[in-house]
Structure 1
Amino acid sequence: MNDKRPGIPTYALLGVLALLFLYPIWWAISSSIKPAAEIISDPLGFNLGDATLDGYRAMLADVPIGTGFANTALVLAIKGGMTLFFCPLAGYAFAKYKFPGQDVLFGIVLLTLMLPTLVLIIPLLLEMSALGWVNTYKALILPGSIDAFSIFWMRQVIAAVPDELLDAGRVDGASEFGVFRRIVVPVIRPGLAGLAVLTMMNVYNDFVWPVVAVNDEKHQTLQVVLSTLAQNISGNRIGADFATVWSELLAASSIAMIPLLLVFILLQRHFINGILAGSVKG
């Protein structure tokens, strides 16, 4: 019987790759607690005895990062909820129902994946302006909440659900929505978990659309708040010390990384299972 387990060279290579991927995170976090002057004079060095939280204190005083977190959390909760509710329903319809023009409509949905985001920005902005939604949470939440990729993902996952299970539910008297809620949703939980992680990452890291849709501090998301701090590096803040601004930027970036790292660490098993579920052919 052949032993197909990975050997020591494979584990060694994976270990080196892991270190290469983790080093930028370590560098950002360790540099954020260094004295500001050392970030410039010794960017790769780190002395635990010199660790300081001055960069974090200055950043919290200069940057409305709490507002950015609150706005991002609001957008993530509502937009993510809409994605996880409506996209599985659309995927269910494409996967398990037959109706006139089904293939054409699904093809149009897939064609929208070929459109770059930058191509859609001006039409979307004109639409938001016509609706009077510029500088509102509606502009941040509604565009892209039901997207083609999520519909395609759910269609592929739901296509693998046996039709016999659905027929058994209908025979037992369940409504169509009842079949979806009681039979389909429990089966596709890995796919939903994977979609939830991807949706959170996309919404959390989104910068281009929020910076276009809102221009007041009240509605700025976390990534926009971080960008305003980055602009200080170019000298937009009069009298700002270059090293101090870098210290604040690294402190803010380190805090912004924490939620995504925690989510991925806690949900990595569900995310991997969801990726595998989404790869099933329909």
Structure 2
Amino acid sequence: MKPGIGQYTILGVLAIGFLYPIWWAISSSFKPPNDIVTDPLTLSGPTLHNYQAMFADVPIGTGFANTALVLVVKGAMTMVFCPLAGYAFAKFTFPGKNVLFGVVLLTLMLPTLVLIIPLLLEMSALGWVNTYQALILPGSIDAFSIFWMRQTIAAIPTELIDAGRVDGASELGIFVRVVLPVIRPGLAALAVLTTMNVYNDFVWPVVAVNDTEHQTLQVVLSTLAQNITGNRIGSDFTTVWGELLAAGSVAMVPLLVIFVLLQRHFINGILAGSVKG
């Protein structure tokens, strides 16, 4: 049954409702700061002043570089080790497998704030406070990613894996040549989710790092208004709206591009991961 005009109309209204705030933030970042406050719904002459002032006032380039480094290394660890763990839980039989998997699932019930103090004490004991190790290693192999991969791989017919074993392939060879090509949508969805989680992570970076050299993008953005007002005599909060919107727009663009490029794989991966194994 094809969607009717009414359904398209509802979807169109919802799309406008979701996209309008993004459009307003990006378009307003090119407006003079006074116009943003006095006339927020009207477009005025475009200016790059907000972007120029923002780059001069805050080290957003350092935040981008640190976030990119953490994202690449931490994301690579997640994309390598979590599918391997999911493959073991989905297709192998070993003593204590169900108990161990249950323990992994139990960690999903723990709030992030509960783990912060133990993790910080551990980082301090290792001498890793204010280092990239503290930003990368905690959470790089997380319970949700293992669960996601387990559910995705469980949907693969066991006969397909047994056929590879009969042909003499090693377990690693079966994983690389048989499993990975089948779960590509699930991997793409995990890549998008991991990118969003690492890119938007704020609580742990602000706790583990307190120097400007290792600050990630979200930490830099959190101190944006304070840095701007501190660098400009006589400024008040109304004068920094333009720079806040400029910084938010710059930070928003990479995630929008990634989601647009991978949205088809992301949706397919969501559907694949929902299959009960």
* TM-score computed with the length of structure 1 as normaliser: 0.95
- 2:105 is the counterpart of 1:110: yes
**Deviation string, structure 1 residues 47-95 (Cα, Å, up to 9, x no partner):** 2xx1111000001111111111110010000000000000000000000
**Deviation string, structure 1 residues 19-52 (Cα, Å, up to 9, x no partner):** 01001101111110001111111122212xx111
> Partner residue of 2:46?
51
Aligned residue pairs, count: 276
Q: How does 1:267-282 map to 2 (within 5 A)?
A: 267-282=262-277
> Partner residue of 2:209?
214
- Tell me, in whole angstroms, the C-alpha distance in 2 between the residues paired with 1:90 and 1:224: 32
> Partner residue of 2:27?
30
1:236 is displaced (CA, Å) by 4.8
- 2:13 is the counterpart of 1:16: yes
> Partner residue of 2:139?
144
1:231 is displaced (CA, Å) by 3.1
Q: 2:259 is aligned with what amino acid?
A: F
> Partner residue of 1:243?
238
8 Å Cα contact 2:81-2:141 kept in structure 1: yes
8 Å Cα contact 1:55-1:244 kept in structure 2: no
| Structure 1 unaligned residues grouped into runs of 5+ | none
1:101 is displaced (CA, Å) by 0.9
1:162 is displaced (CA, Å) by 1.0
Q: Given the alignment, which residue of 234, 252, 258 partners 2:253?
A: 258
Q: How does 1:159-198 map to 2 (within 5 A)?
A: 159-198=154-193
Partner secondary structure for residue 263 of structure 1: helix
- Tell me, in whole angstroms, the C-alpha distance in 2 between the residues paired with 1:101 and 1:231: 52
1:242 is displaced (CA, Å) by 2.8
8 Å Cα contact 1:232-1:245 kept in structure 2: no
- Tell me, in whole angstroms, the C-alpha distance in 2 between the residues paired with 1:262 and 1:39: 26
- Tell me, in whole angstroms, the C-alpha distance in 2 between the residues paired with 1:231 and 1:102: 50
8 Å Cα contact 2:225-2:237 kept in structure 1: no
8 Å Cα contact 1:37-1:243 kept in structure 2: yes
**Deviation string, structure 1 residues 109-128 (Cα, Å, up to 9, x no partner):** 00100011111111111110
| Structure 2 unaligned residues grouped into runs of 5+ | none
1:129 is displaced (CA, Å) by 0.5
Q: How does 1:221-240 map to 2 (within 5 A)?
A: 221-232=216-227, 236-237=230-231, 239=233, 240=235
